[in-house]
């Protein structure tokens, strides 16, 4: 019988209730016109970090700062997903390791 050794979580929508206004963040990074163009090409969602990889370093730095600002504002409204604390407590009681994988800024991760 295999034993569960660990669980890896994501943050937004898994451990935390999503509070970031992603369309507003994308518009702030891309500008209204480019946002609408990128959204039309990617109706299932925008991978903003992938999108800005091809930008010049100064533009990337500005984009990362905008993203970090949105995430910091989200930290002020951070809510733990209902049941997440209990689940983590259960995993701890069974000595099942927990991991976190996210693309959030370090300040958001440090809250945990």
Catalytic choice (10, 47, 92, 107): 10
- Which are the contacts of 111, defined by CB distance < 8 A and separation ≥ 6? 75, 78
8-state DSSP, 104: S
67 sits in the region (left: phi over 0; alpha: psi -120 to 50; else beta) called: alpha
110 is catalytic: no
Q: Which pair of tokens denotes residue 96?
A: 């099942």
Q: Determine contact, residues 50/63, Cβ cutoff 8 Å.
A: no
12 is catalytic: yes
Q: Which residues are catalytic?
A: 10, 12
């Amino acid at each position: 019988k295999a034993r569960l050794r660990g669980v890896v979580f994501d943050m937004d929508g898994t451990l935390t209730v999503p509070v970031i206004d992603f369309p507003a963040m994308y518009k702030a990074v891309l500008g209204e016109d480019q946002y609408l163009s990128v959204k039309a090409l990617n109706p299932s969602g925008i991978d903003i970090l992938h999108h800005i990889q091809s930008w010049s370093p100064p533009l990337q730095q500005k984009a990362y700062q905008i993203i970090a600002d949105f995430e910091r504002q989200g930290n002020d409204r951070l809510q733990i997903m209902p049941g997440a604390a209990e689940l983590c407590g259960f995993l701890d009681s069974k000595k099942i390791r927990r991991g976190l994988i996210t693309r959030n800024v370090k300040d958001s991760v440090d809250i945990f």
